[in-house]
Structure 1
Amino acid sequence: MDRKPRMSRLRIGIDIGGTFTDLCVLEEETGEVFNLKVLSTPADLTRGVMEALDGFFADGRSPDDVTFLFHATTVATNALLERKGAETWLLITEGFTGVYETPELGEVRTGSYDYLSYPKPPMLVPQRHTIQIPERMDFRGGVLRPLDEAETRRRLQRLSGSGVESVAVCLLFSFMNPAHEQRLRELVAEAAPEAQVYLSCETLPQIREYPRLATTVVNGYVAPVVNRYIHRLEEALASRRIRRPLYIMQSNGGSLTSGALRNIPVRMIESGPAAGVLGAAHVGRMTGHLKVISFDMGGTTAKAGIIEDGEPRIVPRFQAGEWLVTTPSLDLVEIGSGGGSIAWIDKSGMLKVGPQSAGADPGPACYPNGGEAPTVTDADVTLGWLDPEFFLGGKFKLNAPAAAEAIAGQIAAPLGLELIEAANGIIKIVSSQMVEALRLVTVSRGEDPREYVLVAFGGAGPVHAALLAEELKIPRVLIPPSPGVHSAVGLLVSDLKRDYIQTHFAELAEVTVSEVQSRFEAMERVAQEEFAAQGISPDKIRHERAIDLRYSIQKYELPVPVARTVLAETDKGGWRRTFDELHEKHYGSRAQDQRVELVNYRLTTKVVLPKPHAVEQADHEETPDGALKGRRRAYFDGWQDCPIYDRERLVCGNRIRGPAIIEEMDSTIIIHPRQAARVDRFGNVILELAGEEKR
C-alpha cells in the first residue's frame, strides 16, 4: 500500500462488487485521493469492508477525521436474485389474491411478443403464506367494508409460531386511505411480535395494484437480510471508532442514512451500479461532455447507463432479475458479462460466455487458488493484455499457465481450435454481448451512440471498451483515473436524495393550481421533517416537483416538471404543452384533441453536498517516454510487440498510438491498432478511434 501523508476531513466511499470491494478516500481540503481494492467476502460482506478500512487506517490516520461515509452494496440485490431473502407473508384484501398470482400483461418484461406463454416471475410469497383480510376501500379512499378486527385477529393466528420474519401488507386503495394498513401493523404485532411489517402505503403510495404489491413484497423479502447486514456493519464501524452516519446509495443515484432506508431497502436494489453512473456523469461535466454512455465492467457483470445534459436518466420502475420494482432508478442495463464470466460450450457445440461467474471465490483459473473454469480474465491473460506479474499493482499474481490450460482443455480442444483462437473467440463473444447492452441504453431509446462519449471503468472496463466503441462507432472513450474503483469515487460526488410520490387522480382541466400548490407544500413539509430528523436544516434542502400526466385513453404517464414558484392558472396550459411535446419526443405523436389526466404528484428532495475540486495538470510534451516501463507481445488479430506504459507517470499532453497498453494498480487500458490515446489536464486517458484524433 502506498504511504501517504496523514489526512484530515476524510470523505470515504466503499463499493462492494461481486469480485472486489473498493475503497476511495478523499481529503476534502487538498483533493488528495487514496484508493484500495480487496477481494469481496461473499460469506460475510462486512469482512471485506473492514479489511479495506483497516488497510487505510493502518498508517495511523484517525477515524475521528471522517466527515462522510458512503456505501454501495449488493446485499439487497443478492438476496433477491439468489432467492435468499426472508420468509415473508402477505396480507391482502379479501378476494384479491389473484393480483399477485397473475400479473397483468405488460407488467413484466418478457423479451418477446408471445403473450400466450409469457413467463410469470416466481412468487416470493407462496400462496400458503397469503392471508386475506376482510376489509375494502373504494378508489377515493372511502370505507366500503370496515376492517373486521375480530375475524382478522383470528386469521392472523397463523403467524404465531410460524417463524415469519417479514410481513408485507398491500390492501386495495391504501394509497388513498392508509388507515386499515396502519391498523394491521398493530394487529400483526400482537400475533407475531418478532415479525417486521412493511406497508404498501409507505413503500409505494401509488396507483396500480400489481406494481405496488410486487414492490412491497420485494421490500419485505429483502428487508431483514439488509437490516442484519447494516446492523453488523455499523457495529464493526463503531468498534473502529467510526461514528459518523452511514449513508447508503440508492437506485435513484442519491444517498440516505441507513436509518432512513431500514423500512424501504427496496430502494437499494441498484445501489452499486448507480454509484458508477454518478461518477461517469461527474467526469463528463468536468470535461465538458454532457452526453455520456456509462460503461462499468467488473468481475461479475457489465452495466451500461446513459447521461444527458450532464445528468443520469431516471426511470420510474425497472426489472431486477425477474421481478418488477417500481421505485425511481437510474436507467441501467445489466448483463452477466464480467471478467469472471465463465466460457462454456452448449449442447449444440456453440461457444458461450456467462452469465455464470467464477466471482471472487474461487475466481478465474488464473487467480491464486482459482477455479477450474475458463473465464474472460483468463482469455485476457492468454492474449497478453494483462500482465500476470502486475495485477492489482503486483500485489496479486496471476497464473498464466493455469489460464491457458483451462481454455485449452475446456474450449480449444473440444472445438478443434488453437489456444489463441479460443481465447480470442471468448473476447469476441463477450464483446458482442456488451455491445448489445450499450445498444439497449442508446439505440433502443432513440439515441445515436455516435453522439456520445463512452466513459469506461470497473476493473475490466478499460480492457474491453475500445472494441465496443469501434463496433458502435463511438468516437471517444474516456477512462478516468483509478477506473477500477470508480464506483467508489462516484459515491464521493453523490448528494442526499429522497423521492416521494402521492396519487391524486383528476382531469387536468378540473384541477386548480391552488390545489396543486397545497399538495406539493404538504409533501415538502413531510420531507423537511424527515431530513430534520437527520440533523439537516431546511435552508440546505432543495425540492424538485413534477406531475404525472397522460392522455385519457392511456394507461401510463409521463412526468412534467412544475416550478417552485407562486403558481397561476395559466401554468396549466404550460404543463399541457410540455406534456404534448414530451409525448411526441418519446412516442412520435401527440393527441391535442384528447383530455389530459393528472395521476401522481412527485417530489424529489435533495441536499446538495460540496463536490471535490479537480486537480488540473499543466501541459507537457506529447512524447510519453518517461512513462515507458517495457514491452511485451500481445495479440491483436496477430501477435504484436507492444509498448507498456505506467499510467502513474503519464502526464497531460502525452499521446500514445496503438497498439499499446497502459497499466495502473486497478485496471489496464488496451489501445488497439488504428487507435490513439491522449492524457487530458485532469489525468483522464482519452481513446480516439481512427480518423477522430484531430476532432
Structure 2
Amino acid sequence: MKRVSVDIGGTFTDCFVAWGDRNIQGKALTTHHNLALGFNEALANACSELDVAVPALLSQVDSVRYATTLGTNALIERKGPRIGALVTTGFKSTIPLSRARGYGEGLPEEAQMDIPNASRPEPIVPIPMIREVRERVDYLGQIFWHLDEDDVRSRIRELVDAGAEALVVAFTNSVVNPAHELRVREIFLEEYPAHLLGAIPMLLSHQVAGRKGEYARSMSTIMDAFLHATMYHGLGTLELNLRANGYDKPMLVNHNSGGMAQLNSTDALQTVHSGPVSGIAASEHLMVQTGLGNVVATDMGGTSFDIGIVVEGGVKYYDFNPVIDRWLVSIPMVHLVTLGAGGGSICNYDRLFKSVKVGPQSAGSDPGPACYDRGGLQPTVTDADLLLGYLDPSNYANGHIKLNARRAKQAFEDLGDELDMSVVETAKLVKRTVDANMANGIATELRTRGYEPRDFTVLAYGGNGPLHACGIAAVLGVDRILAPPFSAVFSAVGAGNMNQMHIHEISTWTTLFDPNLKQFFSDYASFNANVEELERRGRDDLVRQGFEAGDIAYRLEIDMRYGNQRVQTAVVSDVLRLKSQRDVLRLIDQFHTRYGERFGEGSQSPEAGIRINTIRVCSYVVQSTASFSGIQDDGREGQRVEPVGTRACHFPGHDGPVETRLYDVGALAEGTRIDGPALVTTPATTYLVEPGWRYYAAAQGAVWFTRGGH
C-alpha cells in the first residue's frame, strides 16, 4: 500500500505516508492563507526520511486523502458569501427565530445559563435577505398551494439585486415532495443562465438534508452555501498543488460522517470537524484489530481537545442534529465533544474564582504561543510546559521550531502577579487546570452515557496527548493510558483508513407497533421502496467515482422512538429488507435492547407504541487500512535503554524541582521500560512520565503509561 493521508489542523498540518512496509510521519505549521504550503512542508519532511522526491512519491501513491479544518475556520472568521434564502410564505421567521434557542446553542453550559447576557450570533442570512414564495406542500407531500412562478421570478430578482452571491431554497415539507424546489432551480437557470450569472450556486434543502425539521434543514443548507466558495477554492488549491507535483488521481476528502469521497462528491458541510473524526476512525480500527475493548479517543492538539467514544459491537455514536459553531444542522456526524484545551490555549486570570482559566481561546499557529517567538504575547499551555522543563527548546517539532523560554517567562509574569504566585507555580497551576478540564470532559462524556472510565482504555494522541497523559489519568482515576502508534499524527492515520462512503436518509412516519389497534407494521413494500431508493442514491454516488456496483456494501440504520417521545435511538438493522412479521419483531427487539443499554433496563415503554422517524442507508466500499498489532503489554522487557541526560522539571504536588531522566527516540524500541520521572523526546512528540508512573514501549511505537501494579 502506498498512500498519503493528511490532517490539516488549526496549529499543525500532520502527514502520514504509507510506503510499502514503511510508515512515515511528518509535521509542519498550518499555513492558513494557503493550506498547500503547510502540506508541502509536512510531506517534504516525510519524504526526506524515505529519501524520495515529492513528485516521485506523488506519482506512485494510490491516493491522497485530506481531513481539514478549513470549514471550521471559515465559520469562526465569518468568511463567506452573501446568501439569499427563499422560503415558504408564512415561514420567514423560521430561520431567525432558531427555535427560540439560538441564544445558547453552541455555547458552554455556563454561558447558556447566563440568560440576562444572552445574545444571538450574527446571522449568516440577515432578515432582509430572506424572501417568501407563494407555495405549500403538506406533510404527506400533497401540493396544497401550487408554486406561483411569477412570484418566484420576482423574489429571485430581488435577492440578486440585493447582492446575493449564493441562493438557498428551503421550502416546507420539501423532503416529502421536492417538486417545487426543483422547479425553482429551473426557473433560476431560465432567468439567469450560467453565462450571465457566472458561478453563483443555488442549493436545494432536500438535497442537502433528507430529514424533516424545517429550521435544522434550512440551516444545513445555508451553512453549506456559506462554506461552498471557501471549500471550493481552498481544496481546489490543494488539488492544483497535487497536479503540479505529479499526482494525477482524484483527491479524496474525509467526511465528518466517518467516510470519505472525491472532492466533486463532497458537500462543504461534510468536511467540518473531519480531522477529529478521522482520529476516532483510527481508534476504531485499533480497537478491532488489537482487541482492546471499549476505548475513549482523546486528541490533544495545538488548538483543542477532542473526545470520542468507540464501543465493542459496532455501535457508532452519531449526532444526527449536531450544533456546528452556533447553529443546529441536520446531518449525521460522528459524535464528538470538543474542549478549548490544546497546547495553544490561552491562560487568563479568573477574577471570580481568583484562579486561572485555560481556553477556549487559542493562539493557533500564527502567532502561536509566546515561546514560538512569532509575536505571541499571551501565556499558553505550551509556554507552561516549557517553563516546567518538559520541552526541549532546541528539539521541538523535530527542531523546526526553536522555543524561546524568555518569551514564555515574560508572558507568565503578569499572570503570576495577578495570582501572587511565582512563574513556575503559575505554570504548575495551569498544568493542573488543563489536565483536570480534560479529565472532567472525558468523565462527563462517559458517565452521561452510562459508562465508567475504568471500563475503557483511554487513548492519548495528538501532538500534546502523550505530554499530558499521566496528568489526565491521575485526575480521571485510571491507572492505564495508551499513546497509540504514530500518536502525534494519529488523526492523519485515520484519514487514510476510512472507507469511501455516502449516507442518504429520508424522514418517514412509520408505526411498527400501534398500541391502540394492537397491530404490527405490515406495509413492507413501502418501507423497502424507501430503502431501495436510498441504496440507489448511494450506488450512483460511488459508481460515479469509478467503483463497480458489485463492490458496494450497504448498512441500514433506523431512528426509532416510543410513541411521541422526542428522544430517538439509532438501530443498525440486521436485514436490509422487511419481508415478514418476524423481521419486524427482530427490529423491535434490537430497539428494545439498544434503548435499555442507553437509558437503563426497564425504561422501555412499548405500550406507548413504536415508531420509525428516519430511514438511513450507508453505502460504502471497503478500503485497505494500516495494520495495528502487538501493542499489548506482554510482560517482556527489552534491552535496557540509557538516558541521554537529565533536566530539572517541576511537577504538581512536588514543591521543588525534580531531577528527571531524559531519553531520545531510542526509548521507543519495543520492550523498553522506564520508571518516572522521565522525558522521552522524539521528532514528533514528547512523552512525559510523571513521578509514580511507568512507561512501556510496545510494538509500532505504541506506549503504555501505567501506575501502581498495573
**Aligned equivalent of 2:75:** 80
SS in 1 for 2:79: coil
- For 1:157, the aligned partner's letter is R
Q: What is the distance in 1 between the residues matched to 2:106 and 2:597?
A: 23
- For 2:308, the aligned partner's letter is G
Shift in Å, 1:439 = 2.2
2:362 to 350, 357, 362: 357
Structure 1 residues 564 and 572: CA distance shift in structure 2, 3 A: same
Shift in Å, 1:654 = 1.8
**Aligned equivalent of 2:660:** 642
SS in 2 for 1:393: coil
CA offsets 1:376-431 (integer angstroms, 9 cap, x no match): 101001101111121122232211122122212x2112322112101101111212
Structure 1 residues 593 and 615: CA distance shift in structure 2, 3 A: closer
Q: How do residues 460-475 of structure 1 correspond to structure 2 at under 5 angstroms?
A: 460-475=464-479
Structure 1 residues 556 and 184: CA distance shift in structure 2, 3 A: farther
SS in 2 for 1:359: coil
Structure 2 contact 486–701 (Cα < 8 Å) conserved: no
**Aligned equivalent of 1:4:** none
1:573 to 575, 585, 602: 585
Structure 2 contact 637–672 (Cα < 8 Å) conserved: yes
SS in 1 for 2:559: strand
Q: What is the distance in 2 between the residues matched to 1:622 and 1:634?
A: 27
Q: How do residues 116-127 of structure 1 correspond to structure 2 at under 5 angstroms?
A: 120-127=120-127
Structure 1 residues 290 and 539: CA distance shift in structure 2, 3 A: farther
SS in 1 for 2:608: coil
Shift in Å, 1:122 = 4.0
2:612 to 598, 601, 610: 598
Structure 1 residues 616 and 594: CA distance shift in structure 2, 3 A: closer
Q: What is the distance in 1 between the residues matched to 2:213 and 2:480?
A: 43
Q: What is the distance in 1 between the residues matched to 2:8 and 2:259?
A: 17
Shift in Å, 1:559 = 2.1
- For 2:158, the aligned partner's letter is R
Structure 2 contact 211–330 (Cα < 8 Å) conserved: no
Shift in Å, 1:165 = 2.0
2:89 to 94, 107, 112: 94
- For 2:641, the aligned partner's letter is G
- Say which is worse superposed, 136-145 or 184-193, in terms of deviation: 184-193
Structure 1 contact 341–376 (Cα < 8 Å) conserved: yes
Q: How do residues 465-614 of structure 1 correspond to structure 2 at under 5 angstroms?
A: 465-508=469-512, 509-562=520-573, 563-564=575-576, 567-588=579-600, 589-614=603-628
**Aligned equivalent of 1:300:** 303
Q: What is the distance in 2 between the residues matched to 1:519 and 1:415?
A: 62
Q: What is the distance in 1 between the residues matched to 2:313 and 2:367?
A: 39
Structure 1 residues 365 and 624: CA distance shift in structure 2, 3 A: farther
Structure 1 residues 176 and 688: CA distance shift in structure 2, 3 A: same
Structure 1 residues 627 and 45: CA distance shift in structure 2, 3 A: farther
SS in 2 for 1:601: strand
SS in 2 for 1:42: coil
Structure 1 residues 26 and 526: CA distance shift in structure 2, 3 A: same
Q: How do residues 239-638 of structure 1 correspond to structure 2 at under 5 angstroms?
A: 239-261=244-266, 264-309=267-312, 312-348=316-352, 349-408=354-413, 410-508=414-512, 509-562=520-573, 563-564=575-576, 567-588=579-600, 589-614=603-628, 622=637, 625-626=640-641, 628-636=643-651, 637=654, 638=656
**Aligned equivalent of 2:7:** 15
Q: What is the distance in 1 between the residues matched to 2:396 and 2:99?
A: 49
CA offsets 1:92-115 (integer angstroms, 9 cap, x no match): 101101211223357846737869
- For 1:10, the aligned partner's letter is K
Shift in Å, 1:55 = 4.5
Structure 1 residues 496 and 88: CA distance shift in structure 2, 3 A: same
Matched, 1:25 2:24: no
Q: What is the distance in 1 between the residues matched to 2:642 and 2:146?
A: 76
Could you tell me the TM-score, scaled by structure 2's length? 0.91
1:654 to 661, 672, 675: 672
Q: What is the distance in 2 between the residues matched to 1:194 and 1:649?
A: 55
Structure 1 residues 503 and 511: CA distance shift in structure 2, 3 A: farther
Shift in Å, 1:161 = 4.2
SS in 2 for 1:356: strand
- Say which is worse superposed, 117-126 or 436-445, in terms of deviation: 117-126
Q: What is the distance in 2 between the residues matched to 1:441 and 1:395?
A: 36
Structure 2 contact 578–584 (Cα < 8 Å) conserved: no
Structure 1 contact 291–310 (Cα < 8 Å) conserved: no
Could you tell me the TM-score, scaled by structure 1's length? 0.93
Q: What is the distance in 1 between the residues matched to 2:640 and 2:572?
A: 53
Structure 1 residues 519 and 604: CA distance shift in structure 2, 3 A: same
Q: What is the distance in 1 between the residues matched to 2:336 and 2:444?
A: 9
Matched, 1:51 2:41: yes
Shift in Å, 1:139 = 0.7
Structure 1 residues 151 and 294: CA distance shift in structure 2, 3 A: same
Structure 2 contact 290–628 (Cα < 8 Å) conserved: no
Shift in Å, 1:358 = 1.3
Q: What is the distance in 1 between the residues matched to 2:605 and 2:683?
A: 56
Identity of aligned residues (%): 30
Q: What is the distance in 2 between the residues matched to 1:276 and 1:648?
A: 26
**Aligned equivalent of 1:39:** 29
Shift in Å, 1:45 = 2.0
**Aligned equivalent of 1:136:** 136
Gaps of 5+ in 2: 513-519
After superposition, the CA RMSD in angstroms is 2.3
CA offsets 1:650-685 (integer angstroms, 9 cap, x no match): 322221111111111111111111111212234311
**Aligned equivalent of 1:677:** 695
Structure 1 residues 656 and 372: CA distance shift in structure 2, 3 A: same
**Aligned equivalent of 2:517:** none
**Aligned equivalent of 1:686:** 704
Structure 2 contact 16–24 (Cα < 8 Å) conserved: yes
SS in 2 for 1:442: helix
Q: What is the distance in 1 between the residues matched to 2:370 and 2:306?
A: 24
Structure 1 contact 620–652 (Cα < 8 Å) conserved: no
Matched, 1:184 2:149: no
CA offsets 1:32-89 (integer angstroms, 9 cap, x no match): 0111111111222222123333455573334220101110111111111222222111
Shift in Å, 1:120 = 4.5
- Say which is worse superposed, 308-317 or 673-682, in terms of deviation: 308-317
Shift in Å, 1:518 = 2.7
Matched, 1:206 2:211: yes
Kindly tell me the number of residue pairs found equivalent between the two proteins. Answer: 679
Q: What is the distance in 1 between the residues matched to 2:337 and 2:11?
A: 19
